């Protein structure tokens, strides 16, 4: 009889270990922490699928609820928001810029005759998750404001499923134009020569797209002086780059999830996921994808040999003739896929900082963009983390705290300190 609890305990332990354990490359430090994080995230996704299937909640809504529930518990421990956290001097206001909600962080020093720097920040989350007020974004933006004596404007652009492309982009662009107007810069005592646009992941996508638009808009007198992109998403034509293949099972951004985020953003049918995973959507039959466009994401040319490993030829399907590009026009829209912009557009862009992680499906998006900007004559700092994984920049607070995340955040802040 006493055997039963033992058997149950052992079986449960084995089952949990089996669920949590995933093989990870040696290059990833703190692998068990990442496995636990991944198990939590996978559970969230499974529950969301179940609730969606049962008709209880939209997939995205339930993921938001779970992550916010988790953060609520964490706040109970740390209450970073209510106490003003570690940066009591930073003034935080929730207002709107051209009708778009923003959270503005003003540093303690400055004002009155002393001009400060400015940063506009777009958070990540696959154009569907995340918020200026939640997660570590609030903490990071307070830190940047405090340490760099910078006015930070974090934009609450609208998300899927409430809106699709181009709405999130248009929200960000409207907020950016408002921020860069001479009156607003003067109101916040910001030096017009020292304003950055920045973002991580899907926010990096929005930052790159907005930077392109602003730098090519002759009607705007003030432009961004730098763009700081943290593992940005930049193209949706090739889901078989070496990094998409190498890192397809690495937490927390698995390859199918990134494809799903793209389909959602571009308001495409989610059932296209399997076609997109094998690059059927960018087959040679899609005549709108000209050789010139293909060259802009030809990683066999744009990547250094060390990132290509055993893989040397882009996967281009020949005989899939369905009109994917007609069905999903956003695929070729540079406002959604900034890597597809022509060199003349890139050339006008501001100095760039691009952070990439080795263990990230988006690694090659960032590396290719760095290379194309450089080729167009833009000064680029490429900051590559050999032990980094997608999302690490946000994991800087206990218990979701990774050494590489803290180093990445430090690298970003130091770059802004020296270049903005
Ligand atoms: C596509 O074409 C290749 C050769 O070009 C052929 O080997 C393959 O079987 C074809 N696939 C389909 C599904 O028609
Ligand atoms: C991709 O296209 C080929 C050629 O039409 C087709 O045979 C194959 O089933 C498609 N793959 C998927 C996953 O739909």
Task: Give the residue-averaged pLDDT of 392-397.
Answer: 92
Rounded CA separation 322/331 (Å): 14
- Indicate if 225 belongs to the active site: no
- What is the predicted pLDDT for the residue at 237? 98
In terms of pLDDT, which residue wins out, 269 or 19? Answer: 269
Catalytic residue among 215, 243, 390, 394: 390
For residue 84, the model assigns a pLDDT of 44
Find out whether the beta carbon of 321 lies less than 6 Å from any atom of ligand 1.
Answer: no
Mean pLDDT of the chain: 92
Tell me the average pLDDT across 101-110.
89
Structural domain boundaries in the chain? 77-236+331-419
201 is catalytic: yes
Checking if the pLDDT of 86 tops 70, the result is: no
CATH class as words, domain 77-236+331-419: alpha beta
Q: Which of 55-64, 69-78, 105-114, 300-309 is least confident?
A: 69-78
**Residues with Cβ < 8 Å from 39, sequence gap 6 or more?**
19, 20
User: What DSSP line would sit under 228-283, residue for residue?
Assistant: EEES----SS-S-SHHHHHTTT-SSS-HHHHHHHHHHHTT--GGGHHHHHTTGGG-
Is pTM, for the whole model, over 0.85? yes
* Model pLDDT, residue 114: 85
Angle, CA of 329, 334 and 340, to the nearest 5°? 105
Look at residue 309 in the predicted model and tell me its pLDDT. Answer: 83
Other Cβ atoms less than 10 A from the Cβ of 391: the count is 24
Does residue 278 line the site of ligand 1, with CB under 6 A? no
Q: Indicate whether 82 pLDDT > 50.
A: no
Which secondary-structure segment (H or E) carries 406? helix 403-419
How far apart (Å, rounded) are the C-alpha atoms in residues 121 and 123?
Answer: 6
- Establish whether residue 283 lines the binding site of ligand 1, counting it when its CB lies within 6 angstroms of any ligand atom: no
- Residue to probe by mutation, ligand 1, list 278, 284, 319, 321, most atoms within 8 Å of CB: 319
Grade residue 87 by pLDDT with cuts at 50, 70 and 90: confident
pLDDT digits (tens, 9 = 90+) for 166-201: 999 999 999 999 999 999 999 999 999 999 999 999
What is residue 73's predicted lDDT score, i.e. its pLDDT?
65
Give pLDDT, residue 229.
98
Atom 11 of ligand 2, nearest CA residue: 275
- pLDDT-derived band at 334, boundaries 50, 70, 90: very high
Is the torsion defined by CA of 5, 8, 11, 16 positive or negative?
negative
Q: Which ligand is nearest to the CA of 320?
A: 2
89 or 340: whose pLDDT is higher? 340
Rounded percentage of the chain residues whose pLDDT exceeds 90 = 76
């Amino acid at each position: 009889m006493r055997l039963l609890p033992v058997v149950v305990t052992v079986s449960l332990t084995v089952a949990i270990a089996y669920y949590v354990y995933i093989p990870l490359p040696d290059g990833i430090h703190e692998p068990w922490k990442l496995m636990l994080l991944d198990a939590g995230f996978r559970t969230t996704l499974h529950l969301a699928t179940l609730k969606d299937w049962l008709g209880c909640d939209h997939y995205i809504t339930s993921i938001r609820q779970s992550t916010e529930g988790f953060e609520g518990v964490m706040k109970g421990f740390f209450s970073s928001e209510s106490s003003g956290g570690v940066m009591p001097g930073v003034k935080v206001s929730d207002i709107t810029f051209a009708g778009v909600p923003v959270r503005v962080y003003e540093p303690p020093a400055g004002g009155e005759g002393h001009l400060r720097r400015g940063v506009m920040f777009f958070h990540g989350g696959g154009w569907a998750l995340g918020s200026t007020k939640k997660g570590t974004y609030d903490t990071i933006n307070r830190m940047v404001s405090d340490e760099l004596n910078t006015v930070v404007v974090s934009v609450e652009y609208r998300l899927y499923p409430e809106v699709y492309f181009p709405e999130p982009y248009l929200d960000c662009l409207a907020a950016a134009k408002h921020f860069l107007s001479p009156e607003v810069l003067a109101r916040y005592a910001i030096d017009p020569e020292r304003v950055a646009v920045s973002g991580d992941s899907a926010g990096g996508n929005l930052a790159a797209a907005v930077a392109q638009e602003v730098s090519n808009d002759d009607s705007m007198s003030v432009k961004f002086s730098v763009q700081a992109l943290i593992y940005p998403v930049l193209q949706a034509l090739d889901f078989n780059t070496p990094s998409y293949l190498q890192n397809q099972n690495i937490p927390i951004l698995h390859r199918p999830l990134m494809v799903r985020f793209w389909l959602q953003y571009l308001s495409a049918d989610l059932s296209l996921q399997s076609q997109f995973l094998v690059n059927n959507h960018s087959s040679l039959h899609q005549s709108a994808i000209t050789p010139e466009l293909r060259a802009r994401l030809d990683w066999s040319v744009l990547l250094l040999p060390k990132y290509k490993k055993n893989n040397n030829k882009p996967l281009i399907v020949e005989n899939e003739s369905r009109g994917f590009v007609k069905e999903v026009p956003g695929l070729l829209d540079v406002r959604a896929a900034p890597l597809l912009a022509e060199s003349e557009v890139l050339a006008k862009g501001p100095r760039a900082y691009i952070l990439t992680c080795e263990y990230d499906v988006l690694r090659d998006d960032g590396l290719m963009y760095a290379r194309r900007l450089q080729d167009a004559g833009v000064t680029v700092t490429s900051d590559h983390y050999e032990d980094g994984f997608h999302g690490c920049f946000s994991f800087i607070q206990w218990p979701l705290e990774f050494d590489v995340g803290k180093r990445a955040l430090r690298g970003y802040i130091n770059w802004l300190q020296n270049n903005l």
